[in-house]
Amino acid sequence: VKVAVVGAGVIGLSTAVCIAEGLPFSSVTILSEKFSPDTTGDGAAGILIPEQRWFRDTFDHLRGIIETPEAPEAGVFFSSGNKNTFPSDPNPYWANHVFGYRAMSDREMRRFPNHKFGQAFTSIKCECLRYLPYLPIFYIDWVVECCQFGFSSCCLVNSYDVIVNCSGLGSRLLVGDEGVYPVRGQILKVHAPWVKNFIGGGDGGGRAYIYPGIDYITVGGTRQVDDWRLEVDMKDTEGIMERCCQLEPSLRKAQVLEEWVGLRPGRRNPRVESEWLQAGQRRVILVHNHGHDGCGGAGEEESS
Amino acid sequence: VKVAVVGAGVIGLSTAVCIAEGLPFSSVTILSEKFSPDTTGDGAAGILIPEQRWFRDTFDHLRGIIETPEAPEAGVFFSSGCLLYKEVPSDPNPYWANHVFGYRAMSDREMRRFPNHKFGQAFTSIKCECLRYLPYLITFVLFNRFRKAGGQIKREKVTDLQQLVNSYDVIVNCSGLGSRLLVGDEGVYPVRGQILKVHAPWVKNFIGGGDGGGRAYIYPGIDYITVGGTRQVDDWRLEVDMKDTEGIMERCCQLEPSLRKAQVLEEWVGLRPGRRNPRVESEWLQAGQRRVILVHNHGHDGCGGAGEEESS
């Protein structure tokens, strides 16, 4: 069976590896315009915050990696911290999936006078910058770097039996999915090695968060729907610093190494389904696996 | 009032600050052979692990610093992690559970990472790194005070307290291990500790293993992870012992396998100022016609940081 996986971000590579490991007699080819460090996931903080139903499988899969000595190379490690929020359910379904879930005490919440409730727990951070190169690509038979082209191209249909579309935002053009739209996110890469715990502030709006990583702290962010701009916006930088310094005053003295912008592949629901693709006399299976917005890492496992 | 503080480690400088702030009309002079980065505290991990009764005051004092933008310069920050025990302790809810943040017993699921241990306590405490904290005390606190009320810092080795009697009204002895010679305190002995400074920036949480014996711990710091350790009583050796290095790596890689791939930047040895109990008391010191108060504040073993606050 000849399988083509389109897209080499966290969804594409994870999917390709799953297929290659699960179908040992298949031949898997990855076709993508961009590879790490140029994928959307490479700039994302990569913290596993429970939001999708596949969260648990991904958590367990990554926890298996943490217990091996290869964990640092894979960019996978435990990360503890708190989310300040007004939860609808003080005991969420994922409380048992993470480690050490607890509501924060009044004493702890005094640090955050603008927030009334906080959840502390230990989750996992998975940094694409290391994780994508770490994935066992030797399972993959061919890796092709190419420009975008439409699925209607005869080449693709004639060469493969199954095509898996993991092209994220590219699906808009590639398969004409107009339900896909960008959700622009700007972050700052900050040098602040004394910050060891993550803080997700303010109602999960995604506009104030601090996620300590291996090489820097990811400080963000923005969620601008239908915004295609890849350039850094200085107003966003100021807004992010303003909001995050309220959560963590020590950041005022921290050095900003770099700003980065990524376009999350937004969609009302992730599209995970299959259909037939016809070109001339040939019909192949087309599997869609895209539209994970900011949860690409967590959606990793559902690809299997 | 002229006060002399002998010793510029974490106890000496903290004491000097307390006196300077508490007695605004006093003139405080610090005399010490060694200063940061050459004090014992400079190599210690600096994590505040509840062991002494002054722990709470120190915790609150440092927490005040954390909430200021100067916290990184002071080397003070929150640190979360766990202490592991091979047997379940008699009191699984220790007195200090309310002093730290977020104290909880670890779940069975979490404990599966540590098959050699049966019980774990997770909490958030504070790390105070002397390498930054001591210069911070001098620069931000003491120099300000010296300008207002006089005082200075003298780099000199004090060998005889009698020489200070004519120049000062109060002498505070914070000379740690040096008290053995300086005041003839034979109750003071070294407790040798070796640590490894390791580059492992993915380790964010501390792990203290094996019932607090002090032979297996991992404390993430600002510039490196402090991996240790040893507790060798009456051992004066300041040289690195390769056998200790191997033992430390062996024990700590069991707790944190990812350390196997980590780079060891440096090894370091310090002699904790051990004593059965810390000596915190005062007496009269006579030299000729003059009598001055001599205050002792030493013998904190590995708890120098935590003992900080009791100096007031």
| Integer Cα distance of B229 and B247 in angstroms | 9
pLDDT at position A140 over 80: no
Q: Which H, E and C letters describe A127-178, residue by residue?
A: CHHHHHHHCCHHHCCEEEECCCCCCCCHHHHHHCCEEEECCHHHHHHHCCCC
| Integer Cα distance of B46 and B58 in angstroms | 12
Contact B226, B45 (CB under 8 A): yes
Contact B19, B28 (CB under 8 A): yes
| Integer Cα distance of A16 and A304 in angstroms | 9
What interface predicted TM-score (ipTM) does this complex get? Answer: 0.88
Interface of A with B in 143-202 (CB under 8 A): 192-197
Tens digit of pLDDT for each residue in B211-242? 667 899 999 999 999 999 999 999 999 999 99
Interface of B with A in 9-38 (CB under 8 A): none
| Integer Cα distance of A244 and A261 in angstroms | 17
Residues on chain B touching A250 (C-beta within 8 angstroms)? 66, 69, 71-72, 77
Kind plus residue range of the DSSP H or E element containing B273:
strand B263-274
**What's A259's DSSP letter?**
E
C-alpha B33: how far from chain center: 18
Task: Say if the Cβ atoms of A108 and B122 lie within 8 Å.
Answer: no
Task: Say if the Cβ atoms of A250 and B203 lie within 8 Å.
Answer: no
pLDDT of A52 reads 61
Measured CA distances, B171 to B162, B164, B212, B284, B301 (Å): 10, 8, 35, 10, 22
Tens digit of pLDDT for each residue in B171-225? 999 998 998 889 888 889 999 999 999 999 999 999 998 766 789 999 999 999 9
Residues on chain B touching A253 (C-beta within 8 angstroms)? 69-70, 72-73
A267 SS3 class: coil
Share of chain A above pLDDT 70, in %: 85
pLDDT of B208 reads 94
| Phi, psi at B160, each rounded to 5° | -145, 115
| Integer Cα distance of A298 and A46 in angstroms | 9
Question: Number of Cβ pairs closer than 8 Å across A and B?
Answer: 89
Measured CA distances, B195 to A227, B82, B224, B271 (Å): 51, 19, 12, 11
Contact B166, B189 (CB under 8 A): no
C-alpha A243: how far from chain center: 23
Q: Where does residue B212 rank: exposed (0-12), middle (13-18), buried (19+ CB within 10 A)? A: middle
